[in-house]
Structure 1
Amino acid sequence: MMNDHTSLVRAAIEEAQLDALLLAAPSNLGYVCGFFANPHERLIALVVPLAGTLRLVCPSLEEEAARTAVGGDVELLVWRDEDGPDDALRRALAGTGATIGIEKQYLSVANAERAAAAAPSARLDACDDVIVRLRAVKSEDEIAALRRASGIVDRVVEHLVALAEPGVTEAELSAEASQQLRAEGGESLAFEPLVLTGPRSALPHGHPGATRLAEGDLLICDIGVFVDHYAADITRTFVVGGSPDERQREIFEVVHEAERAGIEAVRAGVPAHAVDDAARSVIAEAGYGPRFIHRTGHGLGLEVHEAPYLTATNAEPLEAGMVVTVEPGIYIEGWGGVRIEDDVVVGEDGPELLTSAAIGLPAPLGVEA
């Protein structure tokens, strides 16, 4: 199964000199045993011992969904709201060993204290990196899911360009993107579609609002979708109607060149910062270095933002099978912003592009700048 990585996780536990893992992050639970849930405020946790049956601490309202997802391979310890999870967690952790790994970057202080009380003789150590390293390298099945998701965002971002007429609001285009991402086969949105126009396009993570598109304005469309639990993420920048002016074209070409340079740098064995260096140097040489205000990219998988992160300081080498975004941008307050983003598989000999929607400033569909 694509989402059953128990044997890989157990090998990593042994290498990390841990006796068991206590996992609560929904994406990690899904990765190990195939059960994906939104816990809200209730504790859902998976105990992965070095040997023996996995144990899932689960609230009663999720019991049926959990049994359907995991079959008979995982022991369920079900708790009811009136009882709380403490006894179920104590039973799940019984006999697991002296050192238990927990997700310090996810687990709340309250639930960490609950785990400590449930296994008072055990030491709780951080295990975040154990799972992060495993999830960063994708199998062929995982890449196939990412490829399907990429096809959806390709089609939908091009659909948005065709609808981007003067007078339409950011919020209307964002709502259309949400509907189309699902209509095309997406199971859920990776984030609220980001559609920003005019000077507001200089907000890398702004929220679509009532601003209406005007002819000649820049328009950034950043959308993402999950397919089979794996996320694709794409950004395109256009000019609404007419032709781009000289400044728009100049900045767009700088960003496009930076993206091409970043993508070309993606290959197994290079440090993650080499991709950031390649894209950032193009923008810096054009005189816009201070206007590139975020990392060049991030990993994609069960979360839309995950390792590896393409930052100026990340010296970890990229590995074949990792999937990353490359998304340089230039943002000028009061004028607008340009960002171009594609999804890329790290290969031994170079990059494989997953996304392929047309890149170009003019609005006509499929026309290259």
Structure 2
Amino acid sequence: MSSSTAVPATDPIAEAVPLSLCAREPHVPADRLVAEMVPPPRFDSVRFATYIPDPNQPSQSEAVGVLEGFAAGLGGAAAPAKRSFFGFGKAKAKSPKAPAGPRGVYLDGGYGVGKTHLLASLWHATPAEPSLKAFGTFVELTNLVGALGFQQTVRTLSGHRLLCIDEFELDDPGDTVLVSSLLGKLVEAGVALAATSNTLPGKLGEGRFAAVDFLREIQGLSAHFRTLRIDGEDYRHRGLPEAPAPYSDEQVTRAAQATPGASLDDFPSLLKHLARVHPSRYGALTDDLAAVCLTDVQPVPDQSTALRLVVLADRLYDREVPVLASGLPFDRLFSEEMLNGGYRKKYFRAISRLTALARDAKGLVTP
């Protein structure tokens, strides 16, 4: 009889070590902030032709037609800007005379009606080199001003044909005034503008109030914008099955171990880590991730934490990163008080986007 001791077979899945968001503290240089002002990966291939209007919402088809015409009207020659260290405008270039009519469009509508799809389609359809078009969220634009300074940002963007701003933050008065001043300088330089926005407290679902608020907050720029109302329901859930129920901790952990490039983090720990990383770096935080796996999802404890989570959800959605989770379902992340408060549209957008990403993650779990 052999006296040797049997060695148990090694489980390669059990030995795999997933990545961790909590271990990442990225540094984002200013030149990267400028270079990344293009539609994010989720919207890189969208076009007006790929937008599917709801047949019950004629405003959606009407918006496509207006935006196609707006893009075509931006086809005139533009003087090139002088170059800086970053390869972008250093001095204000002489711009062509602005055509008659509004130099901006504002897309007014609820979350999930395709405003970002249309905004990105406008960027793609505008007949200009990518270096003469800029696309970013309001947060990314304010981060750019913080990195370059106000005057340098004006010089950087003044040679552009078009600036698209997604999710204009009407609930941040200081930054709104800053960006309003920036847009005023850019309009003087002949830059065309396009924007979407969130709504002010208490205005969700109240018809055209979002447009009124937006035009008021950008002060003297109102005359430069044409408002396009886009009605409809959240396309992410239109005719689709409900999001999958949360999985067990074991299922999430094994899926993370079995998925190359996936991260695995405890949800409460991730929320604490987000407080140590500036939201402008959340995009870099998710670089090269194949999936985000979270255990022990719990209600978000306070509004500051909730708003940071909203930014992370936006960056994950932009980059099409699936999210697999255990614990509570995503529609229970935010308290009733939060969902009835001034930032409720942000929270509903985050729920909508995380739900879509949870649906994308179903294939990571083996039966």
TM-score, normalised to structure 2, is: 0.31
Question: Which structure shows the higher strand fraction?
Answer: 1
Structure number with the higher helix fraction is 2
